[in-house]
Structure 1
Amino acid sequence: MGTSTDIARAKARRLKGMMKESDGIALGNERLKAEGRREQAEARREEALARATRAASDR
């Protein structure tokens, strides 16, 4: 973990969550909106972990 691939994967997952959230808003679907927000939060956590791992390995 901590490679550029991991960071890119997390960013893509965050984008997917943003799309789900916006679809939920457009459709008035609260479950889809919440799922998108949850996915974004998980992706932000994964990205932060990958960045921290990469920074630690660079030392």
Structure 2
Amino acid sequence: MRNCRHRAVISLVLILFICNTRCSIGEIIGNILGAYLGIDGINKKFLDKLEIREVIENMAKRLYD
């Protein structure tokens, strides 16, 4: 799992570096990684920079319940 997670994060960072931080491809990959890894699998430094984090977390909780 660690190797897969590491590759996924590297892929996301490379795509965002190429496309800019608001690239739709990066958004799609970020959504997939978030669903796959869960909040515990996402590095805290990425979570801290997440825009509208509270809205996203509330929506995720409502979808889960």
Same fold (TM > 0.5): no
**Structure with more of its chain in helix, by fraction:** 1
Q: Considering Cα pairs closer than 8 Å and 6+ residues apart, tell me whether 1 or 2 has the greater RCO.
A: 1
Shorter-chain TM band: 0.3 to 0.5
Larger Rg: 1 or 2?
1
TM-score scaled by structure 1?
0.41
TM-score scaled by structure 2?
0.39
